[in-house]
Amino acid sequence: MSGPALPPADPLGPVLEAALYAGDLDAAEAFYGGVLGLERIVRVGRRHVFFRAGHSVVLIFNPDETCKPPAPGKLPVPPHGAHGPGHLCLSAGRAAIARWRTRLVAAGHDVEAEFDWPNGARSLYFRDPAGNSLELAEPRLWFSR
């Protein structure tokens, strides 16, 4: 692909927010706030509920609401949304992953997979009530430190 030369890119920081989609925000709020213990930042009716996860934010949107254009006078956030399961991975140490496994099972949530990657990092996979694939993984999965 040829075209005009691009100016240099400024370095980007870590992911600030990540979005998943769930039609039942009550179930999502109970799971992310209750089971996962994330701090709820805000909920706006049937449209969304947001949670703090370390130095990032997990956005849970109702896709049937976010596909609508913004109302006049509201923030001009473009319509967006997805249907079907998404994926989100949160970092946790090996010992914490083992404790999370116990907590998830005690709360009635199945563990879909748990294994060590070729580099030795541990991952645990499970689903939220909307069917999104969630993973807890040791940071060394992607970062050597």
Instruction: Say if residue 90 is in the same domain as residue 142.
Output: yes
| Average pLDDT value for residue range 123-139 | 97
Render pLDDT for 5-21 as a digit per residue (tens, 0 to 9): 988 888 888 899 999 99
Instruction: Say if residue 103 is in the same domain as residue 60.
Output: no
Question: pLDDT grade, residue 4 (50/70/90)?
Answer: confident
Tell me the pTM: 0.91
User: What DSSP character marks residue 45?
Assistant: T
Q: Apex CA 59: angle with CA 53 and CA 125, to 5°? A: 65
Instruction: Say if residue 91 is in the same domain as residue 140.
Output: yes
Instruction: Say if residue 61 is in the same domain as residue 89.
Output: no
Q: What is the CATH number of the domain that holds 47?
A: 3.10.180.10
CB within 8 Å of 34: residues ≥ 6 apart: none
In a domain, 100, yes or no: yes
What's the structural domain count of the chain? 2
Render pLDDT for 87-119 as a digit per residue (tens, 0 to 9): 999 999 999 999 999 999 999 999 999 999 999
Domain that holds residue 104: 85-145
- The pLDDT of residue 53: 96
In a domain, 6, yes or no: no
Distance CA 1, CA 67 (A): 33
